[in-house]
Structure 1
């Protein structure tokens, strides 16, 4: 039973995991990879119940459209998931103010579609130097053979300096436990970052190490 709970939570993590500069976050922002460039978002999660999750998610952009293809390996039970995604940035807030994007992802296992998510992602950059970033998601999540359910979250990021950000978020999908995560992100210029995060829900806790690079 515990393995089933962990696996279901991991699937939710994968579906929600294309986030800001650090793809290891659950709540997405409105940004996309710089036009004509690509990035690799990757993270390793270690769960208190003994499970491990390794995700590699390359993404490339053409104008305001970002295409991604995530590959996740779950250790307990052993299985692999493929997660294609498409994100369309409607309003860029990289210079401050309001941003907006819409996105959709799917989770495939053994060649069959297991879960589909679609959501809007409003975001706000606040403060004289945009120290505060607030990003929200609202949409629908559907498991194969079931009805669509409301899903969404709220995330916040505060920049201590150009090199260090503090992040916190809460993600909820109807019918499942709320997920909370917080930690610190270290930025190496504008092309790479490392995330160190801790998270929990009602049934488990985990530690996340994320590495993200733009090329």
Structure 2
């Protein structure tokens, strides 16, 4: 069975959320979409004391206000076989975030765990959430908040999920981030770190460290990621 820390991180939003949008390294999503007529690729590795994960989440926005994400991750514990997870998500905005303004939208999706819950049912845990974002000081400070719901396939339990994060521009190409997220059944998680724009609006790298609050030391992680956002593909 997957460690609780891994499954919780997956379910809370490894889907997703620099410059035009806040995505990596946040778990809390934002009220912005991938560039219209293009796609983006987010990929990262997250390492714990006795396990690690590798993720890749491509997302596309062909029409302008509907972003779809199809991707997945692979987790492996020391001395054990790995497990795979697949994410399918749609996201739209009712009010796009503007400079010194605010925005909100809706995301829905499913997370599939084939090794944990095999069978003919293609759907796994289902979820929905409302991303909200608030811009201050000409986008030098942006705050993101999520409230959501998740239905566990195996237990049929309904979970309330939440996330709160902020990004702070400290230099032209550098952002610092701080975030907390969780659900109503477990202690929350928190992470801090930063992102660097290698090519502004195109390529960014990030690094964060985090841990479950009041949790054991083996819930501590370090994460490194890469995000690529080409200007136009369609």
| Same fold by TM-score greater than 0.5 | yes
Q: By how many angstroms is 1:103 displaced?
A: 0.4
Supply the distance in 2 between the matched residues of 1:22 and 1:47 (Cα, whole angstroms).
21
Q: By how many angstroms is 1:197 displaced?
A: 0.2
Alignment of 1:76-87 (within 5 A): 76=77, 77-87=81-91
Supply the distance in 2 between the matched residues of 1:177 and 1:95 (Cα, whole angstroms).
34
TM-score, with structure 1 as normaliser = 0.91
Supply the distance in 2 between the matched residues of 1:21 and 1:42 (Cα, whole angstroms).
14
More strand by share: 1
* Partner of residue 136 from structure 1, selected from 110, 127, 145: 145
Alignment of 1:64-103 (within 5 A): 64-76=65-77, 77-103=81-107
Supply the distance in 2 between the matched residues of 1:141 and 1:23 (Cα, whole angstroms).
21
Q: Deviations over 1:169-215 (max 9, x none)?
A: 00021112211011011013011211100000113100000100112
Q: Does 2:7 align with 1:7?
A: no
User: Larger Cα Rg: Structure 1 or Structure 2?
Assistant: 2
Q: Which residue in the other structure is 1:54 paired with?
A: 54
Q: By how many angstroms is 1:94 displaced?
A: 4.1
Q: Deviations over 1:94-121 (max 9, x none)?
A: 4331011110121112264332221101
Q: Which residue in the other structure is 2:182 paired with?
A: 172
Q: Which residue in the other structure is 2:207 paired with?
A: 196
TM-score, with structure 2 as normaliser = 0.84
* Partner of residue 221 from structure 2, selected from 191, 201, 206: 206
* Partner of residue 160 from structure 2, selected from 137, 150, 165: 150
Displaced runs of 4 or more, over 6 A: none
RMSD: 1.6
Supply the distance in 2 between the matched residues of 1:181 and 1:114 (Cα, whole angstroms).
27
| Structure 1 unmatched ranges of 5 or more | none
The SS at the match of 2:186 is: coil
